[in-house]
Amino acid sequence: MNVEKFKNIFRTKNTKKGSYSIAVTAIVIAIIFVFNLIVGQLPESIRQIDISNTNIYDISSTSKKLIKKLDYDIKLYVLADKSKTDDRIKNFLNQYAAQSDKISMEWIDPVLHPSALTEYNTEENSIVVSCEKTDRQISVSFDDILVGSSSYYGTSSSATEFDGDGQLTSALNYVTSSKEYKAYYTTGHGETDLSSSVTNLMEKSRISAEVLNLLSATSIPDDCDLLILNGPTSDLTKDEINALNKYLKNGGNVLCLLAYTDKSMNQLYGLLEDYGMKVSDGYIADTERCYQGNYYYLVPNVSTSGDMASGMTSDSVLLVNSKGMTETDPVRDTITTQSFMTTSENAYAISEDSQKQGTYVLGAAASETITTENKDGDKEETESRLTVYGSSKLIDEEVTSAFSNLENLTLFMNSVTSGLDDADNISIASKSLEVTYNSIAHPGFFSILIIFIIPLALMIGGFIVWFRRRRR
């Protein structure tokens, strides 16, 4: 082949097109290369995009609110081999520390620095959250973040839940605050014990819980910041009601969740009526606001404000087999009662003898300003609070775990903390690492439109287009 023929090869139309394609490809590769270099210089927290199924790297509004209010510098000491730490933990720590310049993070390899475990009084694969100003610190284990797994060098493939946001924010709240609270939950009347989900959330808000048998206790303990009656199925005695009355009149805080029972509850219901909440006979069915046509699975109207609205975004609450209440005049003019959860107008109180239609209260709180004397004889004003829910199923683990989009626990925790001075609901539930499914609370025309009518219309339209083209 002579030189002229060789040159003619590169003068053809196809060769010119090929050269153009090569040039464009080279330019695109160069642009991508330069773009990656620029992106590589950005902070890691900006480069990371959360594409996880349940957005486990998202920082909740509760956490952002607490972080924004930080007055002191916070140090995160991560005692682990960074190269062997689960990527989910590393990614979340980067996102969390980037929320404020008051939060700094330092990785310490305990193999290279074994004295660090003694210095920070913790174990390997843990995060020490420390505040020098308050001289408080707390340790968070990787196993508390990746829940339901057995870890090895911080890695895990069998975890079912991710609790990074909840654990770190709880630790942050602990090291910046010194106030601790004590809650008691009653026993001896068929009550349901508080689930681990509830007690874990309470601990995140610095509230410890302990059982109390009102039958054997002569009085409610002096250190009781909150008394919880979780679904009693038999009535309280007159002496127990007197103890509750005395506790409330001294500025106490009571949270009562009602339950299904065929026994007379005159004593307990009488106390609630004194505070402006009269319990209706039977159980509530709502033909308008219910879950998938089950009238006893209520999806109530929720109207919260102030502390009770903290963290509430969708007001998606489910109550099962709930009692209903109607508002009545309290026994004292100093008592103020306000409902925050109701049925629709098409609800019924159904008993063996009757079905009474109306709007029923499913959640309400009564408060009263109490004037007391301290040890020095000076008068002080405190506020007593009685919060009542129509169903203990509000916090039943079978209900809350079955529906990931429910805000039952958020609402409950708001009730818990709103009656405690200087307490905020900073408890954040862990996020499931398992596949979640959407659920329809109360399907109506819109649901039928989305599920049936639109897909059917698309199928019919597609068939018509196909049939017309086939005839051409």
pLDDT of 48-100, one tens digit each?
Answer: 544 455 578 888 888 888 898 888 899 999 999 999 999 999 999 999 999 99
pLDDT band at 443 (very low <50, low <70, confident <90, very high): low
Name which of 143-157, 363-377, 388-402 the model is least confident about: 143-157
pLDDT band at 1 (very low <50, low <70, confident <90, very high): low
Q: What is the DSSP letter of 42?
A: S
378, pLDDT greater than 60 = yes
Q: What is the average per-residue pLDDT within 137-153?
A: 77
Confidence (pLDDT) at 198: 92
Q: What is the average per-residue pLDDT within 270-293?
A: 95
Categorise residue 433: left if φ over 0, alpha if ψ from -120 to 50, beta otherwise.
Answer: alpha
Q: Which residue has the higher pLDDT, 319 or 8?
A: 319
Q: Do 334 and 363 contact (CB within 8 A), yes or no?
A: no
Q: Do 126 and 110 contact (CB within 8 A), yes or no?
A: no
What are the DSSP calls for 366-379, one per residue? EEEEEEEE-TTS-E
List residues bridging with 363 in a β-sheet.
341, 389
Q: What is the average per-residue pLDDT within 101-130?
A: 93
Q: 165-207: per-residue pLDDT in tens? A: 888 988 888 888 878 899 999 999 999 999 988 998 898 888 9
Q: What is the average per-residue pLDDT within 431-439?
A: 62
pLDDT band at 153 (very low <50, low <70, confident <90, very high): very low
Q: Do 165 and 58 contact (CB within 8 A), yes or no?
A: yes
Mean pLDDT, all residues of the chain:
84
Beta strands, E only, 217-302: 226-230, 253-257, 277-279, 283-286, 290-291, 294-298, 301-302
Name which of 337-341, 352-356, 448-452 the model is least confident about: 448-452
Sheet of 136-141, strand order:
103-108, 74-79, 126-131, 136-141
Residue type at 363? Answer: G
> d(Cα 427, Cα 197) in Å, to the nearest integer?
11
Task: Calculate the alpha carbon distances from 28 to 16, 23, 168, 322 in Å.
Answer: 18, 9, 43, 63
Q: What is the average per-residue pLDDT within 12-30?
A: 66
pLDDT band at 442 (very low <50, low <70, confident <90, very high): very low
Counting residues of the chain whose pLDDT is more than 90, the rounded percentage is 50
Confidence (pLDDT) at 17: 55
Tokens of 409: 């626990």
Confidence (pLDDT) at 319: 95
Confidence (pLDDT) at 166: 86
Q: What is the average per-residue pLDDT within 213-236?
A: 92
> d(Cα 135, Cα 129) in Å, to the nearest integer?
11
